[in-house]
Amino acid sequence: MAVRATVSCFPATLEALESCAVQWGVAVTPFAAADERGQPPTTGAGGDRVPRCEHCWAYFSSHCDLERWGWSCALCGTLNGFDDDTARRFQRPDACPELNSSFVDLEIPVDEAEGGGDGVQARPVYVAAVDLACSEEFLELIKSALLAALEALIPGSLFGLMTFSHKIGLYDVQGPIPVVKNVFIPPDLEEDGLPVALEDAMPLLSFLAPVDTCKDRIAAALETLRPTSSWERGAASGQEEDTVLLGGRGFGTAMSALIDYLSSEYGSTFALARVFAFLSGAPDYGAGLLDTRRYGEQYASKGVDADLALLPEQIPFYRDLAAVAVQAGVCIDIFAVTDEYTDLASLKFLSIESGGSLFLYANTDDSTLPQDIYCLLSRPYAFGCVLRLRTSSDFEPGNSYGHFFPDPQYENVQHIICCDSFATYAYDFDFTHNDGFSRHTDPAVIQIAFQYSVIEPVEETSGNESQSSASYKFCLKRRLRLRTLQYRPARNISEIYDSVDPEVVLHILVHKIELYPFTTSHGHPLILFVYACLQVILESLDKGVREGRQQVHAWLALLTARYNEALSSDARSPPSSIDVDFSQCPQLQMLPQLVFALLRSPLLRLHEEGVHPDYRIYLQCLFSALEPSSLAKAIYPVLISYSSPDKQAFPRHTLSRAALIMSESPIFLLDAFTNLIVYYSPTADLPFPPPRDCLLRTMINRLKQDRCITPKLTFIHGGKDDSTLFESYLIEEQDVDGSGFTTGSGFVAFRESVRNVAAEIVQEEIGS
């Protein structure tokens, strides 16, 4: 569990919080294998026996004060007595991890009636749902991806293959020859469901095949997949052949039927079923069809903001279906391979609200889909998670952000359907009263409790080396992960600024720009820099991206003004003396570049600048689940120079052509998280591409392994290859409005505009 705060020294008072204009919050990666310093948790049993405070229900930790007959809560200070069981356990400190560590991961007993215990057949279940209203190229890519997925699945897993178009195809691969049963999807939206239930067409346990014994048959079934022809789809819908060129993609009906199909074995055969839905275009047949004509409308002539019109969902069908999936124990990942408008703004809810992920690939030629799905299945994941953040009594959680949903009964409790080691969530804080921290000498305390389930294989003691499918057993484990942290209140604003983590500030800012549900704050007015960014969501929904961009720019100016007011010896200094570079505070110096890059990113660039609405939605879903360092790379890429393939020259450059010229290095590695680019200068006389055993290649391989998606690797030799892709990342010489390379614009002009607005704020506050 990694926890990073926007400031490591918390503001001591409400006045200090308002004056510094820096967001106050934390980013939490609950299923990370170690903390932010690389230290793993102390593990053990007895998660159900950890003492809890009688007043605030916080868990005991090593930060609590022990008395002879009790303990004082580290969060609220309440004195709690020991019960007999705790008193006996604490007499053996080595057997009580919570006594010795503030970061523990403890097993909780699970009754077999609840699906737990050794030998219970809670097997991993995976289903591939493949779109056949597609091209041959699409199907070849999907076949490659599913063959890679089969290699990643652990023995004993169950796998099902389903296809959809104007009909649903269910594959039984447990016999010598794959058998497919088809159920036609009614074209009339008013018809209630399918003419035949999927369970009646094929029993679920015939559909779900054990991977270890049926892998070759599954591969053989994949080879039989063919795109449905237009005349087939036309005949099914009752239309003439020449009127049906594309379409017949009954995705909504297929997903609804599949969820109902799987639900019958939830809690017996499986505890979580993962569905991989492969789409080649927008659903345009049956229930849940989406009208893609809105993308082609001329909004400018109607006086309508295209971004505002294209970002909201069309219909609530897929959001409602996600709620049904959660109740059935089904998690859905969507892989869209298309460059056409697919309306991911509507489809995204089916994935993110069921605990899955959303992937978008513009074409089949250089798609990383096979690598992505292999990595997705290779890393561990938790499910049925409950996340609770508690604080000491002087402050409390305000807003919470991420792919979770709030508990309907308990405040500050979030449920996460499926969570991997990269998934990150954000919280910001409010004071509970105007006095701030009542005792500035006492540390502020945060406790994060994360309860989750995992499926683990049961070790077999049999001497028989060749195990049959039936001999693979899995058990459901429930665990409680606890992390308690202390933060010192800052003595002055300078300490706040010196303790800023700009990557976490950016992380929370981007979360607030995302168009996701959030828990509203119930504290003081939102007047702080990133607090004000919360309004970007509302502005984006009400007035479009354009207004949100203006607000982000204005709030950076507010931070600059507050910084200058706090640190300047003469508040009445002329505007030319406004320090827009935060020269006295190294921790803040990266913020202007991060905000400038955020304004240049597809998240906040305008529709008329060529940003596809589906790509914007994809980035929203991706960025909102990244931990702070990865997100910072995605917004403002890291540019490293090398004097040779085996020698690094400088670890980081600004993203400008001037930086390339001044460095005089022949090789550059640009890490934009989704892209890795190796660029050789036109004058470089070195082996190209770099040798496979060099330092540069080692760095590339490490970067590729250390993230949740597979970055696309590109080698460019300047003067010989097209350098457009690499130059597009040199943003500091581009206008913030996206008009390209022009003299006297870019980041320099952006700084001056921020300086001018900050000077106006200072002058207005002096006048008032």
The DSSP H or E segment spanning 428 is strand 425-431
- The yes-or-no verdict on residue 563 having pLDDT over 80 is yes
Least confident range from 22-26, 213-217, 537-541, 589-593: namely 537-541
Among 192-206, 531-545, 560-574, top mean pLDDT goes to 192-206
Between 305 and 35, the more confident residue is 35
- The yes-or-no verdict on residue 460 having pLDDT over 80 is no
pLDDT band at 551 (very low <50, low <70, confident <90, very high): confident
Rounded CA separation 466/501 (Å): 53
DSSP for residue 176? S
Rounded CA separation 309/291 (Å): 13
Rounded CA separation 403/625 (Å): 7
> What's the average model confidence in pLDDT over 617-645?
92
DSSP for residue 586? G
- The yes-or-no verdict on residue 509 having pLDDT over 90 is no
Tokens (6 digits) for 164: 């959809």
Distances (CA, A) of 620 to 102, 282, 358, 635, 654: 34, 19, 10, 12, 25
**Average pLDDT, whole number, for the chain?**
84
Dihedral angle computed from the Cα positions of residues 688, 694, 695 and 701, in that order, rounded to the nearest 10 degrees: 90
Give the pLDDT of residue 247: 63
Give the pLDDT of residue 138: 95
Give the pLDDT of residue 200: 93
> What's the average model confidence in pLDDT over 403-421?
88
Rounded CA separation 758/768 (Å): 15
Give the pLDDT of residue 573: 47
> What's the average model confidence in pLDDT over 229-235?
60
> What's the average model confidence in pLDDT over 194-223?
92
Give the pLDDT of residue 539: 41
pLDDT band at 738 (very low <50, low <70, confident <90, very high): very low
Contact between 715 and 678 under an 8 Å Cβ cutoff? The reply is yes
> What's the average model confidence in pLDDT over 384-400?
92
Between 19 and 538, the more confident residue is 19
Cβ of 522: how many Cβ atoms within 10 Å? 10
Rounded CA separation 105/707 (Å): 24
Least confident range from 104-108, 466-470, 555-559: namely 466-470
The amino acid occupying position 13 is T
Least confident range from 263-267, 346-350, 471-475, 679-683: namely 471-475
pTM of the complete model: 0.88
Between 450 and 235, the more confident residue is 450
Domains delineated in the chain: 2-110+381-491 (2.60.40.1670), 123-229+246-289+308-378 (3.40.50.410)
From the number of C-beta atoms within 10 Å of its C-beta (0-12, 13-18, 19+), residue 755 rates as buried
From the number of C-beta atoms within 10 Å of its C-beta (0-12, 13-18, 19+), residue 644 rates as middle
With CA atoms as reference, report the closest residue to 178 among 200, 209, 142, 147: 209
Rounded CA separation 607/601 (Å): 12
| Backbone dihedral angles phi then psi of residue 50, each to the nearest 5 degrees | -65, 125
Tens of pLDDT, residue by residue over 274-302, are 999 999 999 998 889 998 887 776 555 55
> What's the average model confidence in pLDDT over 576-582?
84
> What's the average model confidence in pLDDT over 448-477?
73
pLDDT band at 367 (very low <50, low <70, confident <90, very high): very high
- The yes-or-no verdict on residue 663 having pLDDT over 60 is yes
> What's the average model confidence in pLDDT over 218-238?
76
Rg (CA), the chain: 28
Q: Is 87 helix (H, G, I), strand (E, B) or coil?
A: helix
pLDDT band at 742 (very low <50, low <70, confident <90, very high): very low
Give the pLDDT of residue 507: 87
- The yes-or-no verdict on residue 49 having pLDDT over 70 is yes
With CA atoms as reference, report the closest residue to 451 among 433, 478, 477, 475: 478
DSSP for residue 7? B
Between 448 and 526, the more confident residue is 448
- The yes-or-no verdict on residue 550 having pLDDT over 80 is no
Least confident range from 107-121, 321-335, 474-488, 653-667: namely 107-121
Rounded CA separation 149/370 (Å): 8
> What's the average model confidence in pLDDT over 690-705?
93
Rounded CA separation 653/636 (Å): 11
DSSP-assigned states of every residue in 243-259 = G-SS----HHHHHHHHH
Tens of pLDDT, residue by residue over 581-612, are 998 889 999 999 998 998 888 888 877 777 88
Between 513 and 461, the more confident residue is 513
Contact between 129 and 254 under an 8 Å Cβ cutoff? The reply is yes
Beta strands in 265-394 (DSSP E): 273-279, 330-337, 358-361, 381-391
DSSP-assigned states of every residue in 431-493 = ESSTT--S-TTSPEEEEEEEEEEEEEEPPP--S-SS--GGG--EEEEEEEEEEEEEEEEPSSH
Give the pLDDT of residue 401: 87
Give the pLDDT of residue 741: 36
Least confident range from 70-74, 390-394, 407-411, 526-530: namely 526-530
Gap between the terminal Cα atoms of the chain:
46
